[in-house]
C-alpha cells in the first residue's frame, strides 16, 4: 500500500499496493462465521443440493451486482461509506445507516470471537472438558450417552412414583453452565463472567493491533488470517471424510429434494444468506473499494470474490456434515438429531462430535483456531470500515498519534458495550443485537442503494463513470440488475421476511424463553437507529432547496434541469394562453 502527505502535512488516503491485497481484504471480511455455521445448515434444511439452485440464482441476481455496486461506488468517489454517497446527496442517509449498522455489528460480533478463544484455550488439555459429566458445572441430568447402558433384572413393580428425567449432553452443559453461566432471562443480567471478559478483551486487543497502523499493516496480517483458515479447513475435511458414518452425513447435506424449491421460505433463506455472506449494506465494501486505485478492475474481483465465497460455504458444509455423520453413527441416531444452526453448531454440535474422535484435543484446536482466524479478519475489516468515514470527514485523524488514539477510543467504546454480552444474561443481549440490528434491515438499505444510483444519479451516467475507470464497458447484466432485478430481489426478500416475522425466543434445555415486550421494544429501537438516517438526511437535503439546495437536488437527480425547463416552458405556454384569452374574450 502506498501513502503520501498533502501540502498541509496531513497524510493522504492510502491505496492498495496490489490487486491481491484488495481481494484478500474482501475475502477476509466476507468469509466468516456465517459460511461455517449458517450456510451448511440451510443447505441441509432446504432440500440439500437442490438449495444450490435458488442460492446461485440469488448470487447472480443480487450477490454479485450489489457487491460490485458498493465497491465501485467507493472506488469512484475514493471515499468511505458516508462521503461516497455525496454522489447522490438525497441518499447520503444510506451511508450513515450502514455506518450505524457496522458499529452495532462490531459490538456483538467480537463476542463470538471471544467464545471461540475460550474454547481454543480450553482445548489445550489431554481430555476435553466438555467430554465428561464429572465437573463442577454439570448437573444431575448430565448424561454421556456413549457410556450409558440400561440393564434389566427380573423385578416386579408393585407401586412406585415416576420422576421425569431429561438427559442433557455434557457439551450442552459446558456451553450453558460453564461458558455462558446463563441466567433465566434478560431481566436477570447477573454479573460479568471474568474469564469470558478477558477473552473479549484479548479479541479487541488483537483487532486494535491489527489496524492501529492503518490498512498497510492490516493488509500484511490479512495474508495470514485470510488464507490460514483454508489450510485448517482442508485438514478437517480430510479427517472428517475418513470417519465412520461421514458418507451418511455428506449425503444428508447434498442429496437434492427438488420439491422443497416450491417453498417460498427456501428462497427467502437463499436470498438472506447472500447478504450475510457477501457483507452487503454494511459500508465495509465501499470503504475497501475506496482504497483501490482509480482504474483498478474491481468488476473482475467481484466475480472472483463470489466464487471464493460460495465455494467456501459449500466446502464448509462437507467439513461440518462429515463429522456430524460420524457423531450420528456413534450415537445410533439420525442427522436430524445432531444438526443445529448458529452458535449451537459451532459450540455444541461440532465440539460434541470432535470429543468422540481419537486425539480429540488436536482436532478441537484446529477447528477453533480456524474460527478465531475467520472472525478476526472479519472483525478488523469491520472496524476499519467504521473508521474510514471519520477519517474522510476529519483528515487530521490520519496523523500519526491521532489515528492510534482515535482507534483506541472506538475499540474501547465497543468493548464496553460488549461487556453486557459476557454477563450471566449476556446471551439474551447478544441474540437481541443479532436479531434486530442486521437482519431484514440490510435488505431495505440495499434497495435504497439500487434506487439511489439507478434512478436518481442515473444508471447511464454511472455506467459512463465505470467505463472511465475500467477502460471498457462492463456487462449490460449489471445495468439490468441494478435497474430491476436487484431492487425487486431486495424488496421481495424484505417483505417476505417481514411477513414471516416471529417473536424472538431462545431455546434452552429447560425450555423456550420468550423475550418480554420491553426487550423487543429495545430491539426495534436498535433497528430504527440505522433506518431513520435515510429519511432524516433526505429531508435535511430537501430543506436546503435554496440556491444551494437546487444544486443538491440537481446532483441527486441529473434530469432535474430538464424537468425545471419543461415546467418553465409549461408555465410560459399557460401564461401566453391566458393572455390570449384575455384579449379575445369580451368584457
pLDDT grade, residue 552 (50/70/90)? low
Does the pLDDT at position 393 exceed 50?
yes
Closest of 516, 521, 518 to residue 505, by C-alpha:
516
pLDDT given for residue 59 in this prediction: 92
Residue 13 lies in a domain: no
Flag whether 387 is in a domain.
Answer: yes
pLDDT at 15 (0 to 100): 80
Rounded to an integer, the average pLDDT of 270-287 is 89
Concatenated DSSP letters of 521-567: HHHHHHHHHHHTHHHHHHHHHHHT-SHHHHHHHHHH-TTHHHHHHHH
**Under DSSP, is residue 514 helix (H, G, I), strand (E, B) or coil?**
strand
* pLDDT at residue 525 is higher than 90: yes
Cite the annotated binding site by residue number: 28, 35, 277, 309, 374, 377-378
Q: Which three cell numbers stand for residue 230?
A: 483454508
**Residue 435 shares a structural domain with residue 578:** no
The pLDDT tens digits of the residues spanning 448-480 come to: 999 999 999 999 999 999 999 999 999 899 999
pLDDT at 522: 95
* Least reliable range by pLDDT among 40-44, 347-351, 578-582: 578-582
Span 313-330, average pLDDT: 89
Q: Which is higher by pLDDT, 510 or 153?
A: 510
190, part of any domain: yes
Whether 562 and 441 map to the same domain: the answer is: no
Q: Has this prediction a pTM greater than 0.85?
A: yes
Q: How do residues 193-207 score in pLDDT, each as one tens digit? A: 999 999 999 999 999
Does residue 436 share a domain with residue 336?
yes
Quick one: which of 299, 275, 279 has its CA closest to 287?
279
Q: What is the pLDDT of residue 447?
A: 95
Annotated binding site for Na(+): 28, 35, 277, 309, 374, 377-378
Name the residue with higher pLDDT: 301 or 566. Answer: 301
Number of domains in the chain: 2
What's the mean pLDDT in 64-89? Answer: 93
DSSP string, 364-400: HHHHHHHHHHHHHHHHHHHHHHHHHHHHHH-GGGGST
Task: Quickly tell me which residue has 495470514 as its cell.
Answer: 224
Show the domain range for 48.
21-144+165-549
In a domain, 12, yes or no: no
Q: What is the mean pLDDT of residues 486-493?
A: 93
Which DSSP helix (H) or strand (E) runs through 115? helix 92-122
Same domain, 25 and 137: yes
Above pLDDT 90, what percent of the chain? 49
Specify the CATH number for the domain of residue 497: 1.20.1740
Give the per-residue pLDDT at 398.
84
Domain contains 154 = no
> In 46-91, which residue ranges form alpha helices assigned H by DSSP?
52-58, 64-77
CA angle 265, 267, 272 (to 5 degrees): 95
Amino acid at each position: 500500500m502506498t501513502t503520501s502527505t498533502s501540502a498541509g502535512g496531513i497524510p493522504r488516503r492510502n491505496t492498495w499496493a496490489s490487486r491481491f491485497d484488495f481481494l484478500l481484504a474482501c475475502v477476509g471480511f466476507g468469509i466468516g462465521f456465517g459460511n461455517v455455521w449458517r450456510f451448511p445448515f440451510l443447505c441441509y434444511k432446504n432440500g440439500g443440493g437442490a438449495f444450490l439452485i435458488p442460492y446461485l440464482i440469488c448470487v447472480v441476481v443480487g450477490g454479485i451486482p450489489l457487491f460490485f455496486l458498493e465497491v465501485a461506488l467507493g472506488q469512484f468517489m475514493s471515499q468511505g461509506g458516508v462521503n461516497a454517497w455525496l454522489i447522490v446527496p438525497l441518499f447520503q442517509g444510506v451511508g450513515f445507516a450502514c455506518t450505524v449498522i457496522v458499529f452495532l455489528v462490531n459490538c456483538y460480533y467480537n463476542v463470538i470471537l471471544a467464545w471461540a478463544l475460550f474454547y481454543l484455550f480450553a482445548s489445550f488439555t489431554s481430555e476435553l472438558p466438555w467430554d465428561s459429566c464429572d465437573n463442577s458445572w454439570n448437573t444431575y441430568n448430565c448424561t454421556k450417552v456413549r457410556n450409558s447402558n440400561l440393564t434389566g433384572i427380573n423385578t416386579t413393580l408393585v407401586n412406585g412414583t415416576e420422576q421425569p428425567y431429561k438427559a442433557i449432553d455434557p457439551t450442552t452443559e459446558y456451553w450453558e453452565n460453564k461458558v455462558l453461566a446463563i441466567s433465566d432471562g434478560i431481566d436477570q443480567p447477573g454479573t460479568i463472567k471474568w474469564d469470558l471478559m478477558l477473552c473479549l478483551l484479548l479479541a479487541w486487543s488483537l483487532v486494535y493491533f491489527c489496524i492501529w497502523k492503518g490498512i498497510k499493516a492490516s493488509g500484511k496480517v490479512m495474508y495470514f488470517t485470510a488464507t490460514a483458515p483454508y489450510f485448517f479447513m482442508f485438514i478437517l475435511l480430510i479427517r472428517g471424510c475418513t470417519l465412520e458414518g461421514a458418507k451418511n452425513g455428506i449425503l444428508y447435506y447434498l442429496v437434492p429434494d427438488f420439491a422443497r424449491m416450491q417453498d417460498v421460505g427456501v428462497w427467502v433463506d437463499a436470498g438472506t444468506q447472500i447478504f450475510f455472506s457477501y457483507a452487503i449494506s454494511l459500508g465495509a465494501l465501499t470503504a475497501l473499494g475506496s482504497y483501490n486505485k482509480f482504474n483498478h478492475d474491481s468488476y473482475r474481483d467481484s466475480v472472483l470474490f463470489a466464487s471464493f465465497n460460495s465455494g467456501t460455504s459449500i466446502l464448509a458444509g462437507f467439513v461440518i456434515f462429515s463429522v456430524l455423520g460420524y457423531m450420528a453413527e456413534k450415537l445410533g441416531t439420525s442427522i436430524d438429531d445432531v444438526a443445529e444452526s448458529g452458535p449451537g453448531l459451532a459450540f455444541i454440535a461440532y465440539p460434541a462430535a470432535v470429543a468422540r474422535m481419537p486425539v480429540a484435543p488436536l482436532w478441537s484446536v484446529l477447528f477453533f483456531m480456524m474460527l478465531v482466524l475467520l472472525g478476526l479478519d472479519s472483525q478488523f475489516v469491520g472496524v476499519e470500515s467504521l473508521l474510514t468515514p471519520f477519517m474522510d470527514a476529519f483528515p487530521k485523524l490520519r496523523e500519526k498519534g491521532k489515528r492510534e488514539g482515535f482507534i483506541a477510543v472506538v475499540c474501547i467504546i465497543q468493548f464496553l458495550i460488549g461487556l453486557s454480552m459476557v454477563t450471566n444474561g449476556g446471551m439474551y443481549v447478544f441474540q437481541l443485537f443479532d436479531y434486530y440490528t442486521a437482519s431484514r434491515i440490510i435488505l431495505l438499505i440495499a434497495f435504497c442503494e439500487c434506487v439511489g444510483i439507478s434512478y436518481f444519479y442515473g444508471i447511464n451516467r454511472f455506467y459512463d463513470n465505470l467505463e472511465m475507470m475500467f477502460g471498457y464497458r462492463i456487462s449490460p447484466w449489471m445495468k439490468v440488475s441494478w435497474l430491476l432485478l436487484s431492487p425487486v430481489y431486495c424488496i421481495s426478500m424484505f417483505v417476505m421476511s417481514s411477513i414471516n416475522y416471529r417473536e424472538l425466543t431462545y431455546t434452552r434445555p429447560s425450555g423456550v424463553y420468550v423475550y418480554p415486550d420491553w426487550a423487543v421494544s429495545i430491539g426495534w429501537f436498535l433497528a430504527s437507529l440505522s433506518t431513520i438516517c435515510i429519511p432524516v438526511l433526505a429531508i435535511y437535503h430537501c430543506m436546503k432547496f435554496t440556491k444551494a439546495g437546487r444544486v443538491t437536488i440537481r446532483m441527486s437527480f441529473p434530469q432535474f434541469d430538464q424537468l425545471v425547463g419543461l415546467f418553465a416552458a409549461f408555465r410560459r405556454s399557460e401564461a401566453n394562453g391566458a393572455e390570449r384569452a384575455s384579449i379575445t374574450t369580451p368584457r
